[in-house]
Amino acid sequence: MRLTLPARKHYNRIKKNLLSGIWDQVATVISPYSDDRVPAVRAFNRRIATVNGYSEFRFPESAVPDLPPGEDRRIFQEYFLATENGDVRGAFMLRHQDFAFSGQIRRVAHYRLPMSEGVANKAYAGVALQMVRTAIQKQPLLFAIGMGGVDNPLPRFLRALGWAITAVPFYFYAIRPAAFFRHVQAVRQTAARRALADAVAMSGAGWAALRVMHRFRRGDRPGPFKWDVVTEFSVWADELWAKCAPAYAMAAVRDSASLNILYPSNEPRFVRIRVTIDGRAAGWALLADAQMQGHKHFGGLRLGVIADCMAEPLHAPEVIAAATAALQDRGVDLIVSNQLHGAWRAGLERAGYLGGPSNYAFAVSKQLGALVTPFEARAREIHINRGDGDGLVNLL
C-alpha cells in the first residue's frame, strides 16, 4: 500500500519515536570519567581487546586527560564514560579548541576515540548512538578525524547520521628507495610481493624507478627562502597566524599559545622549523623524526613526518621544500604527510611527493558542515592534517 504524504510523515514520526524508545531501553548513563572508574575502564579495555580488529584500541586508564581543563585554557580535553550498573559500556573524549572560519573564530570539539561495547555485544549496539548524541549536545560543532579511512565502521556510522566525510590525501617521498621496498608493508603484503620488493631493492631498479617518479612529479622550484630550527613558537607565529587565518575556509587556531600547548618544547619527537622569505617569517612546519621498530605500515624505517604547517597558501611550496630539506638533513628514509587543503597538496606534488592510499578520514557534524558549505566542493579550502587529530600516535 502506498502511503499519502501526511500518512508517510505520521508513519516516520512513529518510527522515529519507536526507535528512540528502543535506544532508551539500552541506554547507559554518560558522565565524566572519575578516578573510581579506572578499574571498570581497565575491564572494558580487556573486553574490547578480544574483538577482532580492536586489539590495539585502549581507552586511557587514568581519569586525568592529557590536556586537562584549566582557567582560561582554550585547548583542553574531557573524558566521558557510558556506564551501566558500574560497568563501562562505552567511552569517548572531546578536545575543545578554537577554529577560524575565514577568520571568524568559533569553538569546535574533536570527537576522539569513541569506543563502544557494541562491537563485542549487540545488546549494546545503541551505546554508539547515545555517545554521539551526547557529544553533539555538549558541542554541536563536532568533527572526527583519522578512523582508519572513510570505509571503516565509525565513518560509515557517522555518514549514516548525516555527517559529511572526506579522505585526507596521503603523500610520500622515498629518500632511500631501497629501504622503502624493504620495509613499507603496502608493497610486501604477499610472499610474491615481498620477494619482488627485495629483488627490486637489491638490484637498484627500485631506486631508479622512484627517483624518476619523484622527478617527473616535481614542478618548478619555489622562490628563495631560508629555514631554521626553533625551540618554541612566539610572537612571529602570532603575526603569521593573523595574516593567514582569513585565507582558509576552516582551520584550527594556530597562534603561539595554542601551538605551544599542542607541541610542547619538552617533547623530543617534534622538530619546529621557521621559514623566512626576505627576512620575514612566511611559514612554519612541525616535523617528527622517529626510528620505527616492526611498525605495521613502515617496518623498521626511519620515518619523517610533516605533521603540521602554516603559511599563506601561496607560500605552501616554500614551507614544504624547507620541511623536506630539514628531514632529509636528519637522515630519514621516508617522508610522509596528510594534507587536505589544495595549496598544501599542490606544494607536496610540486616538491615531487607521490600520492598513496589514505587511511586518514575527516568527518564533520551537520552543524559544523553548515559553516563550510557545500562541504564536498569546499573541502580543498579547509586546512586539516595530522596535527588536527591523534594521527601522530598511530604513525609513531
pLDDT digits (tens, 9 = 90+) for 209-252: 566 666 656 666 777 999 999 999 999 999 999 999 999 999 99
Helix axes 316-329, 342-350, angle to 10 degrees: 50
Handedness of CA 147, 149, 153, 156 (dihedral sign): positive
Q: What pLDDT, in 10s, does the model give residues 319-362?
A: 999 999 999 999 999 999 999 999 999 999 999 999 999 999 99
- 271 closest CA partner among 231, 316, 319: 231
pTM for the structure as a whole: 0.86
Q: What is the pLDDT of residue 3?
A: 39
- Give the bridge partners for 97, in sequence order: 108
Beta-carbon count within 10 A of 284 CB: 26
Mean pLDDT by groups of 10 residues along the chain of 396 residues = 44 44 63 97 95 87 91 90 96 97 97 94 92 96 94 93 96 86 72 63 59 63 89 96 98 96 88 96 95 82 95 97 96 96 96 92 97 95 93 57
Q: What is the pLDDT of residue 201?
A: 59
Rg (CA), the chain: 23
Sorted by sequence, the CB contacts under 8 Å of residue 245 that are 6+ apart come out as 100, 103, 251, 253
CB 143 within 8 A of CB 371: no
Cell numbers describing residue 230: 626553533
- 131 closest CA partner among 27, 283, 231: 27
CB 75 within 8 A of CB 96: yes
Q: Which helix (H) or strand (E) segment is 196 a member of? A: helix 191-203
Q: What is the pLDDT of residue 214?
A: 64
- Give the bridge partners for 287, in sequence order: 271, 306
Position of cell 548524541? 133
Beta-carbon count within 10 A of 28 CB: 21
